[in-house]
Amino acid sequence: MTSTFVIDGVPRRLATTATSKGEAGHVDLRVGTHNSTLAGLTDALSTAITTALQAGAPPTAFVDAFRRTRYVPAGATGDPHVPHATSLGDYLAQRLHHNHPDGPERP
């Protein structure tokens, strides 16, 4: 499932794929311009999350870790399922929870 969103006027993209069992299996967060520090860091974060998911970590582990983190960019996202995020990590957590709600509902 691919979601596009905008924070601070810059378009961004988050793609998640599921395993044959419907569990989260891959995360691809694209932010910033190619070869920028931010793009590299979000690519590394995506790789780390994907590796952990494939090793059996539940998506809720990332939802719990990243939800309500606060740093810029933050604000309205243009995503009807995640209308506001306090950071890129918060957006990622909310979207993971929306796409793969395998745990208790989080406020």
pLDDT tens per residue, range 21-68: 777 888 999 887 788 898 899 999 999 999 999 999 999 999 999 999
- Model confidence, pTM: 0.83
Residue 102 pLDDT grade (very low, low, confident, very high; cuts 50, 70, 90) = low
The whole-number average pLDDT for the span 79-104 is: 87
Q: What's the pLDDT at 105?
A: 43
C-alpha distances out from residue 29 to 1, 2, 104, 105, 107, Å: 12, 10, 24, 23, 23
Share of the chain above pLDDT 70, in %: 94
Residue 78 pLDDT grade (very low, low, confident, very high; cuts 50, 70, 90) = very high
Torsion of the alpha carbons at 82, 83, 87 and 90, rounded to the nearest 10: -20
> Does the pLDDT of residue 93 top 90, yes or no?
yes
Residue 74 pLDDT grade (very low, low, confident, very high; cuts 50, 70, 90) = very high
> Does the pLDDT of residue 20 top 90, yes or no?
no
